[in-house]
């Protein structure tokens, strides 16, 4: 296959288009001989491709100092877009646990590069954060419902989704966040860009719906038992694909290019492929 194009999308190619990012650290990085630095470099390249082409990015997560949100803000600082292209969506149980001072600090940090969307328990956008005293004693069911509401909101307000990495354990929702976001995208027939080269839940999804594209990384024979919620989520994804006869790969890339995206860990190659797909369909 010819090497994918590495040039950026034309300016304004993604004007008024919103891309969701599903990303969290992969448990497979050490096995693959990769570092968190490689993972973040790829996120940086993807951010550059979308933002310079005029698109907006939706990301749902915590506002931790060393987290992905702050990394994305740093990347935007480099590219000069000052029309708030980053939309940070906070689940009810996340922003309700924050003090007004913490929220104000994060809003100042975002500045002209992004804005925070505060969501209700069922995922509706609120006018602003609650003025009540912070609360953090939510039940597991409340946390899971708020996260589902967050993911429903992001899926409804984005045109496509980029998926990379992903936890298999230690998650709070009804299934790993990346799985739920992919499931919702499939149900709404939104294009997916499944970046599998960093392993994790993203590669599990690829193995479930296009197993040939995941053969490059065999499953571990002596691996511990997987969380039942992960396994149930993968089955739900398989069923959603079968019911809709649509697997998210109608994304502007050929089968061969999607296979390359399922195995690549090279930031420029991944950004080129995702950029080519988005430029084709949007």
Please state the rounded mean pLDDT for residues 31-54: 92
For the chain, what percent of residues have pLDDT higher than 70?
96
Asked whether residue 5 is domain-assigned, the answer is: no
- 185, part of any domain: yes
List strand residue ranges (DSSP E) for the chain, in order.
Answer: 18-24, 56-60, 86-90, 114-118, 160-165, 192-195
The domain tally of the chain equals 1
Inside any domain, residue 2? no
Q: How would residue 10 be classed by pLDDT, with cut points 50, 70 and 90? A: confident
pLDDT number for residue 222: 67
- Asked whether residue 93 carries a pLDDT value surpassing 70, the answer given is yes
The answer to the question of residue 110 being in a domain is yes
**Phi, psi at 90, each rounded to 5°:** -110, 125
pLDDT digits (tens, 9 = 90+) for 128-157: 998 889 998 999 999 999 999 999 999 999
b vs e for 173-202, b when ≥16 Cβ sit within 10 Å of the residue's Cβ?
Answer: bbbbbbbbbbbbbbbeebbbbbbbbbbbbb
CATH of the domain at 105: 3.40.50.450
Among 216, 151, 170, 145, residue whose Cα is nearest residue 25: 170
User: Tens of pLDDT along 74-85?
Assistant: 888 887 677 889
For residue 157, the tally of other CB atoms under 10 A from its CB is 15
pLDDT band at 4 (very low <50, low <70, confident <90, very high): very low
Q: Is 151 contained in some domain?
A: yes
Residue 272 lies in a domain: yes
Q: Residue 139: give the domain boundaries.
A: 18-281
Note the pLDDT of residue 109: 84
3-state secondary structure of 19: strand
CB contact at 8 A, 77 and 48: no
Residue 12 falls within a domain, yes or no?
no
Question: Is residue 3 assigned to a domain?
Answer: no
pLDDT digits 0-9 by tens, 210-249: 999 999 998 877 667 888 999 999 999 999 999 988 999 9
Asked whether the predicted pLDDT for residue 2 surpasses 70, the reply is no
Question: First-to-last CA distance in the chain?
Answer: 24
How much is the mean pLDDT over the chain?
Answer: 90
């Amino acid at each position: 296959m010819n090497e994918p194009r590495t040039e950026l999308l034309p300016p304004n190619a993604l004007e008024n288009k919103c891309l969701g990012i599903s990303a969290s650290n992969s448990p497979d990085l050490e096995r693959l001989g990769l570092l968190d630095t490689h993972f973040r470099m790829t996120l940086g390249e993807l951010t550059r491709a979308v933002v310079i082409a005029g698109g907006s990015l939706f990301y749902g997560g915590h506002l931790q100092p060393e987290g992905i949100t702050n990394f994305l803000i740093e990347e935007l600082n480099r590219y000069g877009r000052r029309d708030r292209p980053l939309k940070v969506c906070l689940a009810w149980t996340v922003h309700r646990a924050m003090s007004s001072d913490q929220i104000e600090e994060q809003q100042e940090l975002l500045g002209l590069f992004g804005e925070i969307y505060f969501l209700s328990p069922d995922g509706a956008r609120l006018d602003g954060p609650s003025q009540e005293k912070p609360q953090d004693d939510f039940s597991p069911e409340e946390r899971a419902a708020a996260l589902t509401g967050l993911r429903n909101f992001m899926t409804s307000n984005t045109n496509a989704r980029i998926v990379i990495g992903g936890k298999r354990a230690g998650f709070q929702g009804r299934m790993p966040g990346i799985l739920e976001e992919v499931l919702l995208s499939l149900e709404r027939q939104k294009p997916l860009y499944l970046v599998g080269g960093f392993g994790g839940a993203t590669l599990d999804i690829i193995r479930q719906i296009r197993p040939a594209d995941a053969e490059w990384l065999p499953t571990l024979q002596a691996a511990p038992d997987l969380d039942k919620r992960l396994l149930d989520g993968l089955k739900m994804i398989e069923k959603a694909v079968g019911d809709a006869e649509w697997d998210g790969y109608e994304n502007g890339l050929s089968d061969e290019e999607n296979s390359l995206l399922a195995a690549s860990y090279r930031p420029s190659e991944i950004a080129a492929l995702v950029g080519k797909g988005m430029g084709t369909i949007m």
